[in-house]
Amino acid sequence: MRLPKKGSLFREVPIIVVAALVVSIFVKTFLIHFFYIPSGSMENTLKVGDRIAVNKLANYFSDIKRGEVVVFKDPAKWLGQAPGETGSKTVVAIKNALVTVGILPDPAKQYLIKRVIGVGGDTVICCDAKGHLTVDGISINEPYIFKGDKPSDSTFKVIVPKGFIWVMGDHRGASADSRFHTDDIHHGMVPLGDVVGRAFATVWPIKDTKFLSVGDELSKVAVKK
């Protein structure tokens, strides 16, 4: 077997590296994006420090459904001013480059992750006589809610406009979600255009790897034509 010449090998290595980077950026941009969880607003479904995989491709082919866990860009400064980078300029640049190509998970500094409770046209109310949320008059059982939490400590009635979603964290007592931003420009709703994708799995730590469940009760609500 003839071995490749040394000069030929040196020319091929940069091509291979560049091709790998292009593929990695393509995957992150259009297919799968990785984030890590910075807060406890989705406990115990997602814990602080968990790494999650987010399906971005689904945004192009299907509508967002009730019960799905979605990552979205901060719709109206829910998180306030973006925190500054720490460390030297070189370290920050290297870290940002690794995030860009998908080697490191995105720290999600100006992104949020919540569960979709209502989609365009839905009426979401808290709460019925049993203390459950209702969506279009259907009482919703939510087994994913953090143990000891109520579906909501505050009462509300909202009608979700077309092109928006109403979102809530699974740790209802520690989630500044749609309920807490009804005075913003979108009245607490999240524009569909701000949704990055649907979180479908925890990929780290290894002992906690799992596919994320979709709220079964929410899926029973009739889909509007």
Give the residue numbers marked as catalytic: 41, 114
One-letter-per-residue 3-state SS of 123-173: EEEECCCCCCEEECCEEECCCCCCCCCCCCCCCEEEECCCCEEEEECCCHH
C-alpha 70/C-alpha 164 separation (Å) is 13
Instruction: Give the number of other Cβ atoms within 10 Å of residue 27's Cβ.
Output: 16
Backbone torsions φ then ψ of 88, nearest 5 degrees = -70, 160
Q: What is the CA radius of gyration of the chain?
A: 21
